[in-house]
Amino acid sequence: MDNPVWKNKEYSFFSHKKCEYFPCHQDADPDNFNCLFCYCPLYALGDKCGGNFRITTKGIKDCSSCLIPHKRENYGYITGKYQELVELMKSQGTLPPR
């Protein structure tokens, strides 16, 4: 999609430059750093998130090198993965019945 409906909309980008951790990732472009997904909603997808992560020696997913949720142009990518999150929650029994 060349011009998605969310492009250039206020709801798809938020940059909290006064945050004491801004920007929270090295090598980030502060002018295009999206804080909307401060805690990545795709973390739960494990190796299916599509991000640049590593697993530490203690078995913890380390996303400190990943900028996918923090790039202005990736709003659609993140929200496009929500159905996968729903399916994951269904498979784990964490969604209430309709």
Q: Stretch 38-52: mean pLDDT, rounded?
A: 93
78: its two tokens: 């993140």
Mean pLDDT of the chain: 91
At residue 59, the pLDDT reads 94
pLDDT over 60 (residue 1): no
67: its two tokens: 């900028």
| Structural domain boundaries in the chain | 10-91
At residue 58, the pLDDT reads 97
At residue 26, the pLDDT reads 84
Question: pLDDT of 47-66, one tens digit each?
Answer: 999 999 999 999 999 999 99
| Contacts of range 42-51, beta carbons closer than 8 Å, 24 or more positions apart | 42/68, 42/69, 42/78, 42/81, 42/85, 44/85, 44/88, 45/81, 45/84, 45/85, 45/88, 48/84, 49/81, 50/77, 50/81
